Amino acid sequence: MADAAEVLERKLAARDKTIAALMKRVEGASANNNNAFSTFEQNIRLEQVVARKTEELKAAQDRLLREIEVQRALEVELRHAQKLEAVGRLAAGVAHEINTPVQYVSDSLSFVREALADLSRYIQCSRELSAAVIAAEPAHASAQGCQELAEEVDLDYLLENLAPAVDRALDGLGRVASIVRALKRFAHPGSAQMAPADLNEAVASTLTIAANEYKYVAELVTDYGELPLVTCHLGDLNQAVLNLVVNAAHAIADVVADSGARGTITVRTLHDGDHVQIEIGDTGGGIPDEIRERIFEPFFTTKDVGRGTGQGLAIARSVVHDDHGGELSFVSERGRGTTFRIRLPVMPQRSS
Ligand X SMILES: Nc1ncnc2c1ncn2[C@@H]1O[C@H](COP(=O)(O)OP(=O)(O)O)[C@@H](O)[C@H]1O
Residue 228: how many CB atoms within 10 A of its CB? Answer: 13
Q: Which does 301 bind (CB under 5 to 8 A by kind): Mg ion, ligand X, none?
A: ligand X
The residue (of 234 and 316) whose beta carbon lies closer to ligand X is: 316
Are the CB atoms for 268 and 339 separated by under 8 Å?
no
How far from each other are the two terminal CA atoms of the chain, in whole angstroms? 17
Residue 154: how many CB atoms within 10 A of its CB? Answer: 13
| Cβ at position 246, least distance to ligand X in Å | 7
For Mg ion, the binding residue among 284, 312, 326, 345 (CB under 5 A) is 312
Is 247 a binding residue for Mg ion by CB under 5 A? The answer is yes
Q: Which residue is nearest to ligand X (CB)?
A: 312
Are the CB atoms for 344 and 326 separated by under 8 Å?
yes
For ligand X, the binding residue among 300, 325, 343, 347 (CB under 6 A) is 300
Which residue in 261, 210, 201, 258 sits closest to 232, CA to CA?
A: 201
| Cβ at position 301, least distance to ligand X in Å | 3
Rg of the chain over all Cα atoms, to the nearest angstrom: 35
Q: Rounded to a whole number, what is the largest CA-CA distance in the chain?
A: 145
Helix (H) or strand (E) holding 343: strand 337-345
What DSSP character marks residue 259? S
Q: Which stretch binds ligand X (CB under 6 A): 37-45, 105-113, 157-165, 246-254?
A: 246-254
Q: Which does 212 bind (CB under 5 to 8 A by kind): Mg ion, ligand X, none?
A: none
Q: Which stretch binds Mg ion (CB under 5 A): 17-25, 64-72, 88-96, 312-320?
A: 312-320
Query: φ and ψ at 238, to 5 degrees?
Result: -55, -45
Q: Which stretch binds Mg ion (CB under 5 A): 120-128, 242-250, 287-295, 325-333?
A: 242-250
Are the CB atoms for 202 and 238 separated by under 8 Å?
yes
| Cβ at position 116, least distance to ligand X in Å | 52
From CA 325, how far away is CA 341, in angstroms rounded?
14
For ligand X, the binding residue among 30, 200, 212, 301 (CB under 6 A) is 301
Is 302 a binding residue for ligand X by CB under 6 A? The answer is yes
Mark 261-290 with x for binding to ligand X (rule: CB under 6 A) and - for no binding. ---------------------x-x--x---
**Cα–Cα distance list, 281 to 70, 112, 138, 265, 278 (Å):** 35, 44, 76, 6, 10
Site for ligand X in 314-333 (CB under 6 A): 314
The residue (of 231 and 311) whose beta carbon lies closer to ligand X is: 311
The residue (of 17 and 294) whose beta carbon lies closer to Mg ion is: 294
Q: Which stretch binds ligand X (CB under 6 A): 61-69, 220-228, 307-315, 320-328?
A: 307-315
Q: Which amino acid is at 255?
A: V
Is 295 a binding residue for ligand X by CB under 6 A? The answer is yes
The residue (of 177 and 291) whose beta carbon lies closer to ligand X is: 291
Are the CB atoms for 278 and 242 separated by under 8 Å?
no
For ligand X, the binding residue among 202, 251, 253, 267 (CB under 6 A) is 251
From CA 97, how far away is CA 91, in angstroms rounded?
10
324 three-state secondary structure: coil
Is 312 a binding residue for ligand X by CB under 6 A? The answer is yes
Contact set with ligand X (CB under 6 A): 243, 247-248, 251, 282, 284, 287, 295, 300-303, 308-314, 338
Residues that bind Mg ion (CB under 5 A): 247, 312
